[in-house]
Amino acid sequence: MTRVVWQSGADRLAELARTVPLPVVPTSFLFLRHGETDGNLKGHYQREDQPLNATGEAQAAAAARILAGEAVGEIVASPMARAWRTASLAAEPHALAPQPEHRIRERVFAALFGQPNHDFDWAKDPPGCETLHDFVTRVRGGLADALATEAPPGRERLVVAHGGVLLVLTALLDIDLHADLHRNATPLRFRRNGAGWRAERLGSDAAS
């Protein structure tokens, strides 16, 4: 089972994200975090070209089978290798080509690639790495554009990205997402719920 690490400083990420609301046009959309990598498994800062490991490939394939039963009309994905591979597997049953959105890449810790991240704190801005403010601002812009229009009639847009992007998204939508729903390759549906939003895991009754 993929290990979920709750890093400190996530409250600071949420504080930054909630300063500017996210305008979302569709009443619902889908989100998928990429499958597991060796960096996830070992707890290391990851390069942009970090691939899925064997478990991650299986997770992504399983998520694709679940999503094959959904009316996916468009897929917007981070171009980082782990997310792009996950998106490509999810796209196959729908005969779609994922659309790259560079702004929904994971936070870039260039100076720390390959080093352990067990003591990682979102609120810290290590030298030579992307600042939290810049990351949140970048992701907000990418998500705003990805969700700025309705999906094709009767279909939903799928966003494939990263754990950090999911943290920003849930903060922007003011959702407290259960830890299990942050796990690798967990297909989620975000649905408008009155004036707010709710999230549910596809193929399950779990929701937040």
Is residue 134 one of the residues assigned to a domain? yes
Residue 140 lies inside a defined structural domain of this protein: yes
Range of the domain at 47: 10-201
pLDDT tens readout for residues 110-163: 999 999 998 889 999 999 999 999 999 999 999 999 999 999 999 999 999 999
Cβ within 8 Å of residue 1, ≥6 positions away: none
- pLDDT tens for 36-84 read 999 999 999 999 999 999 999 999 999 999 999 999 999 999 999 999 9
Is 207 a member of any domain? no
> Domain for residue 53, yes or no?
yes
CATH of the domain at 23: 3.40.50.1240
* Domain membership flag for residue 164: yes
Look at residue 30 and tell me if it is in a domain: yes
CA nearest 208: which of 166, 176, 162, 182? 176
Q: Is residue 206 part of a domain?
A: no
Number of structural domains (the chain) is: 1
Neighbouring-strand partners of residue 189: 30, 200
